[in-house]
Chains A and B, each alone.
Chain A
Amino acid sequence: MPETLTPDLEIIEAGHGGGGDVPAGGDDDGGDSGSGLPGIPQRAYYTAIQLALVGIVMFFMALTSSFLVRKGLGDDWVAFALPRVLWFNSLVLLASSVTIEVARRYRHEGAVAAFRRWWAFTAALGALFVAGQLVAWRDLASQGVFLATNPSSSFFYLLTALHALHLSGGILALCYVAFRRWQRSRITQSIAADLAAIYWHFMDGLWLFLFALLYLGR
């Protein structure tokens, strides 16, 4: 894999000119043609993940402004105490951003076993976070706070659920990076790991934002 990585990096560096020196497709796909798909410059994957994040930002911004408008316009907003487990969950998710970086460093050093171990640890932390969110839900439900109880709880359940859904997608991506047979792919495992990590860090940041919104805006 490292021998295919070097030309990939050159493509990424040459890429910023756009339409300049690098022919699209063809033989520069870095990987192997076994995927049955035309090769594309590796930078396209980085472009795509960033665009996906832009789309996700717009989605959550729409919900955030709905949160602010609904709270500002209505006179029925009732604050409730956020479950304490959210603090623990936040720490777990922050930790997972650290472990995914450790995993990627091992990946670059070629320490495959250590990479897999830390990568799996990251996915496990992600799963623990989602489980922790479920605990928070049960906690609220036991106090009689449900989705339709109050707009504050509606937004709490909605935002946490949508974030957990996106994070679950991230967990699936981590599994995909770990278990896919990359020999038949258009990209290397290293780049796939990069993309998964970008998404993962973004989900981490998004959670901190949502937690702050729910905490300060409750």
Chain B
Amino acid sequence: MVTHDSGAGHHHAPTGFIRKYIFSLDHKVIGIQYFFLALFSVFFGMTLSLLMRIHLVWPTAKMPFTPGGQMTPEQYLALVTMHGSIMVFMVLTTAPQSGFGNYFLPIQIGAEDMAFPVLNMLSFWTTFVSLLVLLSAFLVTGGAPISGWTAYPTLSALGEITGPGQGLGQTMWVIGLAIFCVASLLGALNFITTTLDLRTKGMTLGRMPLTVWAWLITAILGLLAFGVLLAACILLLLDRVAGTSFFIPGGLVVTDTPITWHKGGSPLLWQHLFWFFGHPEVYIAILPGMGVASHVLSNFSRKPVFGYRAMVAAMSAIGFLGFCVWGHHMFVSGMSPYSAFAFSLMTMTIGVPSAIKTFNWLGTLWGGKIQFRVAMLFALGFVSLFVTGGLSGLFLAQPSLDLYLHDTYFVVAHFHLIMGVAAIFGIFSATYFWFPKMFGRMMNETIGKIHFWFTFIGVYCIFMPMHFLGLAGHPRRYSDTSGVNFLAPLHSVHYFITMAAMVTITAQLIFLFNLFYSMFAGEKASENPWHATTLEWSIPSPPPFDNFAGHVPSVYRGPYEFSVPGSTDDYIPQHLIPEKVAKAH
């Protein structure tokens, strides 16, 4: 912490515990708060998935937390819903963007803090409240909702008549999500303003690390998308509690009860609103991972990022196209084949910038002096998973194929690989890479490598076989298919997946151990242990309260000056003044 008085214009570190660690205005503390919120959420969400996997293989097994011992189909669906919601919102949206973005965006552009620290604190605490509201769905009468993370009406709109959890539980879910939207909008506003207006001297747009570009584009997507989800949530809430009929059509009969008090609404309207948000949300989850992968691959290949400008253009294109493809989630909703064709074409177009990124990652690796540190392994794993998960997207983008594959395990395999696991690998890569800066100590490399290989092989063992389940026509969301003849031969595949899931989930305890052990007993980290070039490595680990201790850093070059011909060091930091760059001759 800064102890000296650095004069007018500088802010001072708070001294009280509450202002320092709880209601902190420091972007670094807030970043770590987000990180731990996501860490709690990911283990919580993973536990739910473990319960689901066990139930799928042993449907009659006694389960904890299920009154009556055996898990009912409704309880299974509640797990599906809450697993998806918690993972998508509280982990994939929160950790890579709000967590690492908060911590490192200001430092990487040479700023003292986010533009609006109070707003930043409000974003975090609003997110925290939304997590509590979301989790409270487990505790209310009827339990958690069963309508999935997409909450399609009319199942999500009619109340408890449609099942346990669809009463107060679903209401808490909608409110929790609406609060999350507000938090994300505040965060996005802060990220964009900070990136546009707080860059230090010399930090032009073309010199920003690709991580910063990724956080910027993600924030723009968030700003444009979360307002739409907020509107949808308000409409759904009114349908639920105020008797309106935005999404509920007339003539419904639910469990022999005619629904006479609603008519004329359109369930498809929700789908349009939800997916207009939902598809960009996929990129909100994955773009920061792309930024981190580019950054880490370059650093540990000791080579500049191949095609920096193409990388930025590709991320922008992915972000833009992300708003034009929501209809591909609705191919089976009865939409016009012409619309489906347009959405299909736009969706496959995303393959172009995605391929550009993949080729550039390979180009970055090509001929590099590769150092297989754990962060690098996870970045490589990210590329692998991005390709694997992306390719199945091209299949699903065809309306004719989607007709068959929709709502099968093929889709589960696709989105888990591309959006879930690839993004998680981005988070892991970021964690191993930036841990020394955040906590001042190194994570254990050996334990990290064990964690990597268990996780990398494990996730492929979990999700690759799901493609086959899907191709064989296995529907998703069914809690028990033991009585279905044509699915009986697939039981052994489920068994294999559950075993793989158990091993992989257990392996995450290795990560947890490494994280907390290294936090307190890891080897002390130097200022720049990875010989990296960007500004966060020019300051002590962990950084002082105002990041640059009162000095305003200047930037003289791009972010990836590795192995520059004629230079004795194999890297030239962004802040190094030109006179100090050691020349070989």
Contact = CB atoms under 8 A, between A and B. Distances in A.
A19 B202 contact: yes
Interface stretch (B28-36, B187-195, B379-387, B498-506): B187-195
B8 A33 contact: yes
Contacts of A58: 223-225, 227-228
A48 interface: yes
Interface stretch (A70-78, A90-98, A109-117, A198-206): A70-78
B242 A147 contact: yes
A37 B238 contact: no
A180 B148 CA distance: 46
A20 interface: yes
Which of B189, B197, B198, B264 is the most central at the interface, judged by chain A CB atoms within 10 Å of its CB?
A: B197
Contacts of B245: 76, 148, 151, 154
Size range of the chain A interface in the assembly: 35 or more
A18 B266 contact: no
Nearest to B189: A51
Contacts of A26: 9-10, 112, 552
Nearest to A52: B189
A23 B200 contact: yes
A185 B264 CA distance: 52
A47 interface: yes
B199 interface: yes
B276 interface: yes
Nearest to B231: A62
B313 interface: no
Contact of B246 (A33, A37, A77, A151): A151
Nearest to B14: A36
Interface residues of B, number: 64
Contacts of A216: none
A28 B116 CA distance: 16
B110 interface: yes
B281 interface: no
Contact of B188 (A15, A28, A55, A62): A55
B207 A69 contact: no
A186 B25 CA distance: 15
Interface stretch (A38-46, A118-126, A166-174, A188-196): A38-46
A8 interface: no
Contacts of B188: 51, 55
A154 B246 CA distance: 8
A21 B201 contact: yes
Contacts of A56: 227
A148 B244 contact: yes
B1 interface: no
Nearest to B118: A37
A44 B246 contact: no
A116 to B, nearest CB: 26
Interface string B1-39: 000000111111000000000000100000000000000
A147 B244 contact: yes
A30 B238 CA distance: 46
A59 interface: yes
Contacts of A33: 8-11
Given A51-B189, A55-B223, A22 B201 contact: yes
Contacts of B201: 19-23
Given A66-B246, A73-B269, A48 B116 contact: yes
Contacts of B235: 63, 66, 158
Contacts of A147: 238, 242-244
A63 B197 contact: no
Contacts of B25: 37
B339 interface: no
Interface string B538-556: 0000000010000010010
B199 A47 contact: no
B34 to A, nearest CB: 20
B204 interface: yes
Contacts of B227: 55-59, 62
Contacts of B205: 18-19
B242 to A, nearest CB: 5
Interface string B437-478: 000000000000000000000000000000000000000000
A7 interface: no
Contacts of B234: 158, 162
A83 interface: no
Interface string B234-260: 110010001111100010000000000
A44 B116 CA distance: 9
A37 B120 CA distance: 12
Contacts of A39: 9
Contacts of A75: 264
25 contacts: A18-B197, A18-B204, A20-B201, A24-B197, A25-B198, A26-B112, A38-B11, A38-B111, A48-B189, A55-B188, A55-B227, A59-B227, A62-B227, A62-B273, A63-B231, A63-B235, A66-B246, A66-B269, A70-B266, A73-B268, A73-B269, A75-B264, A76-B250, A147-B244, A158-B235
Given A44-B115, A55-B223, A55-B224, 8 more contacts: A29-B9, A33-B9, A44-B198, A47-B196, A66-B273, A74-B265, A148-B243, A151-B246
Interface of A: 15, 18-29, 33, 35-41, 43-44, 47-48, 51-52, 54-63, 65-66, 69-70, 73-77, 147-148, 151, 154, 158, 162
| The 5 A-B residue pairs with the shortest CB-CB distance in the complex, in nearest-first order | A76-B264, A148-B243, A19-B199, A59-B227, A74-B264
Interface of B: 7-12, 25, 109-113, 115-118, 185, 188-190, 192-194, 196-205, 207, 223-228, 230-232, 234-235, 238, 242-246, 250, 263-266, 268-269, 272-273, 276, 546, 552, 555
